[in-house]
Amino acid sequence: MAELKTLALFLVTALAEILGCYLPYLWLREGKSVWLLLPGAMSLAAFVWLLSLHPTASGRVYAAYGGVYICMAILWLWSVDGVRPGLWDLVGSAVALVGMAIIMFAPRPA
């Protein structure tokens, strides 16, 4: 159960980071409203707070989070950008998730 909670927390964290970066991108590259910076900043603040909720060492959390971020970015590519991931996108995402699982869930001495 703790593993599912950790994974869910990582997924929400990645979504907050991606959204926090995407909204300024819309302003800078797509000419959207400058007001998108406000929810973008709030989303990045939520991202930082969500990372702090993990009960393990911060370096381990940051390293493992990267694997989940990669998968969420590929899902974003597909769902928001409308670009279907290729085979190697999916293989790379799977490798990143395996790395995340090893980092977060490997047995450690007490």
Q: What is the pLDDT of residues 24-83, one digit of tens each?
A: 999 999 999 999 999 999 999 999 999 889 877 788 888 888 999 999 999 999 999 999
Confidence category of residue 4, pLDDT binned at 50, 70, 90: confident
Domain for residue 110, yes or no? Answer: no
**pTM (2 d.p.):** 0.85
pLDDT of residue 6: 85
Domain for residue 31, yes or no? Answer: yes
Count of domains for the chain: 1
pLDDT of residue 44: 97
Domain for residue 19, yes or no? Answer: yes
* Sign of the Cα pseudo-torsion (54, 58, 63, 65, in order): positive
User: Which of 85, 95, 72 is CA-nearest to residue 19?
Assistant: 72
pLDDT of residue 79: 96
Containing domain of residue 7, as a range? Answer: 2-105
